[in-house]
Structure 1
Amino acid sequence: MINRVLIRLKIVQIIYAYYQNGGKNLDTAEKELFFSLSKAYDLYNYLLLLMVEVTKYANKRLDAAKNKLVPTKEDLSPNMKFVENRFIAQLEINKQLNAFASSQKKTWENEGDFIKNLCEQIMQSDIYKEYMASETSSYEEDRELWRKLYKKIIFNNTALDEVLEDQSLYWNDDKEIVDTFVLKTIKRFNPENGEKQELLPEFKDEEDQDFARRLFRRSILNADYYRHLISENSKNWDLSRVAVMDVIIMQIALAEILSFPNIPVNVSLNEYVEIAKLYSTPKSGGFINGTLDGIVNQLKKENKLTKN
């Protein structure tokens, strides 16, 4: 699940913190990097549990309506389509998800108000109303309902962002990327797999773990060389006057460009320009792109840049 986009973001965050704390312990900072990445995987599982919790709440609402002093005909014979959603039923018994909930002790039980409001928001949506009114019923329709609901209501949800921020500072910048993995997971679910449906693994393979470790260490261990290149190519700029975050982003970009021959230069450049837009000044993207482009051209002329 953890992809290189997320790895790059985390490395920028951790290296910035490393320098802010005096740059004393590389091993401790590396452990913090992998802990931070593991928290992103926790968020992935936690967001999957959210869909189950909303459905449970909806079911409790129906039970409460039946037990009213004077229940209506609709209360006594409600439309059960939403609470009997087959995709959610499969997700609820998923072995990997339940193992996560059990080992991490993570539930939504303490977020009752948020779950209530989210459920009401869902039930007021046209997506929900069209689904409930449809005369057809299939697993595919049940799964598609939650893909649409997630994309429309959960993907950009300020109230949810606040709940997650209160629970973990690590999740502040992760949700937008993790959301894409939740949507990918919904799409992959197959009723034939039952409780054994595989969720996305924390790392796709050992190569990505190695990428994270090597990029992190080389960014710091070769910092003097990278900063020398930056200083030489920052026309009319004293390096001490360049924003600290800009220097760190370029430092990591150069570590990637010089350490990973299989990654095209333009891919690395584009990734770090995008990161600059998130974490630095409005003008940083253009400045970083121009500076790195100059360094790459210099390295090519000096035959110091090898790409497959």
Structure 2
Amino acid sequence: MQSMYAFKGTESDNLLKEQKFLLHSLDSMYDLYLAQLALFTELHKKSKDYNEKIKNKLVKTEADKNLNYKFQENQLLHLISSNTMLQEAIANSKLNYWHLDFEYVDILFKEILKSELYRDYCIDEDSSFKKDKHFVIDIFTDIIAPNEKLFDFFEDKKLTWVDDMPVVNTAILRILRKLKLTSPETALLPDLYKDDEDLEFAKELFQKTFLNNTKFAEEISTKTTNWDSERLASIDGLLLKMAICEFQKFPSIPTKVTINEYLEIAKEYSTPKSSLFINGILDKIVKEYQADNIHLKSGRGLM
């Protein structure tokens, strides 16, 4: 969707160039994932430096005397920081910006220290891996991921990262929730694609939507005579074209799956009323296909 939207804006007719942008954008998602895990490592280092600094103070407050080491000794953060394969991947990709942009680490670390999540974590006598994992997941969900300054930082680093953040953050949470102390190092280095078919599907969907753009637009226009043309020129129109492409060019994908997927994308990226609009148009198109006995789905249980 993002790549098709970018194509619309450039008025380019070079399919290979646009497909290269698509594949580059997909690869950038993995870079964002690694950059976020590098941030976890730097926050863990920061906790050690912070504790060392307090230990070396000549004059200590009462709070300094009761220094808490739970953040420093957090087992999940240690698992991330000590993962040699992960750290090599981060180093090879040159994605650890944090030693240069240390102010973002400082901002997040201070936010964590003053949070209720941190206070509750420190007084909890449970020092299990499960408790440590819940703490890291909570600070990521409530403090790190929503931080606007961090969002601006990622936007400045690479514009394509901005729209990828919800997807990447969701993937990070899913991976962290599954982690165990006995997990192999590869657990933190998932494949970008489930298999080769995933990559081929991405390329095919882009190519076939791209090459049939005018044809799909004409089909949509016959179903939307009473709708504002601006809506069709927006992301809504683009999602409709991609859905029609799946209806016509991917016979093994059930129509219900296609519709549900694009409704979810519309809820995330378009207007509040977009999902209703898209659902209505796609439902009408599917019923016409079925009545005319065209673009039927193949495979058991498909329609």
- How does the TM-score come out when normalised to structure 2? 0.88
Partner residue in 1 for 2:30: 41
Partner residue in 2 for 1:302: 292
Match of 2:82 among 93, 108, 132: 93
Residue correspondence of structure 1 range 274-293 to structure 2 within 5 A: 274-280=264-270, 283-293=273-283
Q: Go from structure 1 to structure 2 and tell me whether the alpha carbon gap of 1:284 and 1:80 turns closer, same or farther (over 3 Å shift).
A: closer
Match of 1:273 among 252, 263, 284: 263
What is the one-letter code of the residue matched to 1:70?
Answer: V
Partner residue in 2 for 1:232: 222
Q: Go from structure 1 to structure 2 and tell me whether the alpha carbon gap of 1:16 and 1:70 turns closer, same or farther (over 3 Å shift).
A: same
Let me know the Cα RMSD of the aligned residues. Answer: 2.3
What is the one-letter code of the residue matched to 1:43?
Answer: L
Q: How big is the shift at 1:134?
A: 2.0
CA distance in structure 2 between the aligned counterparts of 1:60 and 1:36, rounded to whole angstroms: 36
What is the one-letter code of the residue matched to 1:250?
Answer: L
- Name whichever of 178-187 and 106-115 sits farther off: 106-115
Partner residue in 2 for 1:179: 169
Q: How big is the shift at 1:237?
A: 5.5
Runs of 5+ consecutive residues of structure 1 not aligned to the other structure: 1-11
Partner residue in 2 for 1:69: 58
Partner residue in 2 for 1:139: 129
Residue correspondence of structure 1 range 197-212 to structure 2 within 5 A: 197-212=187-202
Does the 8 Å CA contact 2:5/2:238 hold for their aligned counterparts?
yes
Does the 8 Å CA contact 1:93/1:195 hold for their aligned counterparts?
no
Structure with bigger RCO (C-alpha 8 Å, 6+ apart): 1
CA distance in structure 2 between the aligned counterparts of 1:111 and 1:23, rounded to whole angstroms: 36
Runs of 5+ consecutive residues of structure 2 not aligned to the other structure: none
After superposition, what is the alpha-carbon deviation per residue over 1:61-114, rounded to whole angstroms, capped at 9, x for unaligned?
Answer: 111122223235764663222101121111112233212211111111122222
CA distance in structure 1 between the aligned counterparts of 2:280 and 2:185, rounded to whole angstroms: 51
- Name whichever of 103-112 and 189-198 sits farther off: 189-198
What is the one-letter code of the residue matched to 2:173?
Answer: L
CA distance in structure 1 between the aligned counterparts of 2:62 and 2:268, rounded to whole angstroms: 53
Q: How big is the shift at 1:160?
A: 1.7
Partner residue in 2 for 1:5: none
Does the 8 Å CA contact 2:3/2:22 hold for their aligned counterparts?
yes
Q: How big is the shift at 1:28?
A: 0.8
Match of 1:81 among 51, 67, 70: 70
CA distance in structure 1 between the aligned counterparts of 2:17 and 2:32, rounded to whole angstroms: 23
Partner residue in 2 for 1:219: 209
Does the 8 Å CA contact 1:231/1:239 hold for their aligned counterparts?
no
Q: How big is the shift at 1:200?
A: 2.0
For the residue of structure 2 that corresponds to 1:190, the secondary structure is coil
User: Is 1:193 aligned to residue 195 of structure 2?
Assistant: no
CA distance in structure 2 between the aligned counterparts of 1:136 and 1:120, rounded to whole angstroms: 23
Does the 8 Å CA contact 1:90/1:194 hold for their aligned counterparts?
no
Q: How big is the shift at 1:243?
A: 2.2
What is the one-letter code of the residue matched to 1:133?
Answer: I
Q: How big is the shift at 1:242?
A: 3.6
Q: Go from structure 1 to structure 2 and tell me whether the alpha carbon gap of 1:189 and 1:241 turns closer, same or farther (over 3 Å shift).
A: closer
Match of 2:7 among 8, 14, 18: 18
CA distance in structure 2 between the aligned counterparts of 1:196 and 1:248, rounded to whole angstroms: 37
Q: Go from structure 1 to structure 2 and tell me whether the alpha carbon gap of 1:187 and 1:241 turns closer, same or farther (over 3 Å shift).
A: closer
Q: Go from structure 1 to structure 2 and tell me whether the alpha carbon gap of 1:238 and 1:146 turns closer, same or farther (over 3 Å shift).
A: closer
CA distance in structure 1 between the aligned counterparts of 2:99 and 2:228, rounded to whole angstroms: 54
What is the one-letter code of the residue matched to 1:90?
Answer: L
Does the 8 Å CA contact 1:30/1:213 hold for their aligned counterparts?
yes
Q: Go from structure 1 to structure 2 and tell me whether the alpha carbon gap of 1:264 and 1:241 turns closer, same or farther (over 3 Å shift).
A: closer
CA distance in structure 2 between the aligned counterparts of 1:127 and 1:193, rounded to whole angstroms: 26
- How does the TM-score come out when normalised to structure 1? 0.87
Partner residue in 2 for 1:112: 102
Identity %: 35
Q: How big is the shift at 1:186?
A: 1.0
